[in-house]
Structure 1
Amino acid sequence: MNTLEVIKQLAKERNMSVYELEETLGFGKNTIYQWSHRTPSIERVKKVADYFGVSLDYLTGRTSRKNISKIDLANVPDGVLTFEGKTIPEDELEIIRHLLRNKPSNK
């Protein structure tokens, strides 16, 4: 499905039309329908994704999973996480985990 089709489906699940969605989000009439032949701004796509509580990847058809999965840092294997384009070495991940585990509570 393309972005417009995904948005139509999400709106249908909420018993609303795309026109009602546009009005709710403060978009001009037919703004979303124009996305079938024009590239929308990322700000507008984010606004739609936030409204429906779905990920941008879901909205743009890159994944069939609506929500972003949470990743527990305690269980991330070596070589998976990066920072500024570089893989975080396991020894540095252990330091980060240690700091987070021993962080003073804000209670």
Structure 2
Amino acid sequence: MAETLLDRIKILAKEKNLSLSEIERNADLAKTSIYTWKTKTPNARTLEKVANILDTNIDYLIGRSNDPSPIDEEDDPSMFFRIDMRNVPEEDREEFKSQLRLLKDFAFKQIEEARKEQEDKDPR
């Protein structure tokens, strides 16, 4: 049987020696609210708070990934762009991510160049 959101939170909480009450308190949640997630899914902001407390990622919590490692957006640009990679064939994913890194770097370079150009026109 697949693990539920609640199951995964319990597993990670146990590994980190945290009670569900402590997680709720640290995430500014009502008491026992995590238990309601056995049948309901919280909003993204709440999931993000819990994922941060448990040092994991939202995809792991909701069962889209089996890797509980936190995701570094620098290392995985698909997370920076929030792209659903499920439809990208496995053999194309690394190349896809490489192209996204190039796109991200290009965008930041363009922004920096525009900022410098503006500063040159309007020095304060």
CA RMSD of aligned residues (A): 3.1
Q: State the partner residue of 1:41.
A: 43
Aligned CA distance change for structure 1 residues 65 and 23 (closer, same or farther; 3 Å): same
Q: State the 4+ residue runs in structure 1 displaced beyond 4 angstroms.
A: none
TM-score scaled to structure 1, two decimals?
Answer: 0.64
TM-score scaled to structure 2, two decimals?
Answer: 0.56
More helix by share: 2
Q: Equivalents in 2 of 1:6, 1:24: separation in Å?
A: 18
Structure 1 residue runs of 5 or longer lacking an equivalent are 82-86
Alignment of structure 1 residues 79-98 onto 2, 5 Å: 80=96, 96=106
- For 2:56, the aligned partner's letter is V
Paired residues in the alignment total 86
Instruction: Indicate the percent of aligned positions where both proteins have the same amino acid.
Output: 32
Q: Equivalents in 2 of 1:51, 1:3: separation in Å?
A: 15
Q: State the partner residue of 1:12.
A: 14
Alignment of structure 1 residues 68-107 onto 2, 5 Å: 68=71, 70-71=75-76, 77=95, 80=96, 96=106
Q: In the alignment, is residue 3 of structure 1 matched against residue 2 of structure 2?
A: no
| Cα deviation, residue 42, structure 1 | 1.2
